[in-house]
Each structure stands twice: as C-alpha cells, then as structure tokens.
C-alpha cells in the first residue's frame, strides 16, 4: 500500500466582485459624460448663433439730395508787396509855340513848289512883334498868271497870320522868283516886299479882297519889281 501525502488544505478564495455592477456603472458614466458634452455643445452652439446673427439692416429712408459742395479755393502764393519807388517828377507841359504853329500852317497852306526852290522860306519873328515871312512864287503858264499867283500867296499868308495866336505888330511878306538879268544870268531874287501893320491885317477880308491890288493896301514896305507889276 502506497502512502500518499496527506492533502493540503486549499487557501481560502477571495470573494469575486460582481462584474455586472461594475460594468453597469462604467456604461452609465460614459453615457453621463456624453450627455454632458451634448448639453454643453448645445449651449455653446446657441451662444454662437446669437453672436453670428447679422446686424439689422437699417431701413433706407429718403433724404434730400446733398447740395453740391463748392470747390475749395486754391491756395495762392502771397503777393509780394512792391517796394515803393520814387515817382518821377513830371516835367511841366510846354505851351505850344505860336511862331512854330504859324510856320507850320503857312507851309501847309502854300503847298509844294513846282520849281527848284523852297516854297516856304521861313519866318523871322522878333519879340517886339515885328515879323518877316519869305516864300517862293510858283511858275505858271504866262507872266500874268505868275504875277496873280504871287499876289494870291500874299493873301494866303495874311489869312494864316490872322488865324494864328502870334502877337504881331507888323508883318513883312517877301516873295522871290527866278529872274534873269540883262547879261543872261538867272538867279532867285526878291520880286515883292510888302509890309502890313497889325491894324491893316485885322481889316483885310481875305475872302473878298482884290488879290491883284493887295500891294496897294500895304502901309509899310512896298516893293514890286517892274517885271511883277501889271
């Protein structure tokens, strides 16, 4: 008979935990967490939607058209103030010279010469009023026409003296013409020299006087060469 060792007593076993309870608690915890996050997501979503709502568009109302605005004035550079300059002193206005005015009017009235001679020879005026005027008679078709034209020139000069402002006491009118002497020499010579006082000049009506007898009214110098006499 074989001998076996006596059996050893088994160690006491720990009581097993109920697996169902533990598993149920784990599923419930997971479900609770899921519900928590779902509720939290809904809350966050609602806040986000409220935040993302577009602002209310204001209703368009009719407003008067804006008045056109005037352009802004351009800025201009400040003008420089000119430095004061010395004002030039004006020379006193010279009064017209009656002698020159008379010379100009006689020259214009006589016109141009048809000979090689200066038509108006000039005027010599003294401060005492004594005046001498020289002119050259024009040529003409006949000797009588030359004589008559020369006397007409004398009347023309008297008329201009009457119209002038030159204070004269007497006027001597000298007329020249181209003359030929007995030797055949031709020379511009004095043919008439007639003197008139201021009183006689005032009395002569130059528009109606007999020009052919003008030398007879001279109360001063009275010279007419034979070739210019009638």
Mean pLDDT along residues 153-172: 97
The contacts of residue 112 (CB under 8 Å, 6+ apart) are: 119
Mean pLDDT along residues 189-193: 98
Of residues 84 and 114, more confidently modeled: 114
The contacts of residue 176 (CB under 8 Å, 6+ apart) are: 117, 121, 134, 135, 136, 137, 188, 189, 190, 191
Q: Kindly report which listed range (22-31, 84-93, 136-145) carries the lowest average pLDDT score.
A: 22-31
The contacts of residue 119 (CB under 8 Å, 6+ apart) are: 107, 110, 111, 112, 113, 135, 136, 138
Q: For residue 135, is pLDDT > 80?
A: yes
Position 151 scores a pLDDT of 98
pLDDT tens by residue, 64-103: 555 656 566 566 666 666 666 666 677 777 788 999 999 9
* Distance set, CA 90 to CA 83, 86, 94, 104, 218 (Å): 21, 12, 11, 28, 47
The contacts of residue 107 (CB under 8 Å, 6+ apart) are: 119, 120
């Amino acid at each position: 008979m074989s001998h076996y060792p006596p059996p050893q007593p088994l160690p006491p076993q720990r009581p097993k935990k109920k697996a169902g309870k533990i598993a149920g608690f784990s599923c419930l915890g997971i479900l609770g967490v899921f519900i928590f996050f779902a509720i939290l997501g809904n809350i966050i979503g609602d806040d986000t939607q409220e935040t993302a709502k577009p602002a209310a568009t204001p209703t368009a109302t009719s407003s008067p058209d804006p008045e056109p605005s005037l352009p802004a004035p351009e800025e201009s550079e400040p003008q420089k103030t000119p430095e004061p300059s010395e004002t030039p002193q004006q020379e006193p206005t010279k009064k017209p010279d009656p002698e020159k005015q008379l010379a100009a009017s006689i020259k214009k009235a006589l016109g141009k010469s048809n000979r090689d001679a200066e038509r108006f020879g000039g005027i010599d005026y003294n401060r005492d009023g004594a005046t001498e005027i020289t002119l050259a008679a024009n040529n003409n078709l006949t000797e009588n026409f030359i004589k008559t034209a020369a006397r007409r020139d004398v009347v023309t000069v008297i008329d201009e003296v009457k119209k002038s402002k030159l204070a004269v006491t007497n006027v001597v009118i000298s007329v020249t013409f181209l003359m030929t002497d007995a030797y055949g020499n031709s020379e511009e010579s004095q043919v008439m020299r007639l003197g008139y006082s201021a009183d006689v000049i005032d009395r002569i009506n130059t528009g109606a006087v007999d020009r052919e007898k003008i030398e007879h009214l001279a109360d001063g110098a009275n010279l007419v060469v034979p070739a210019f006499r009638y």
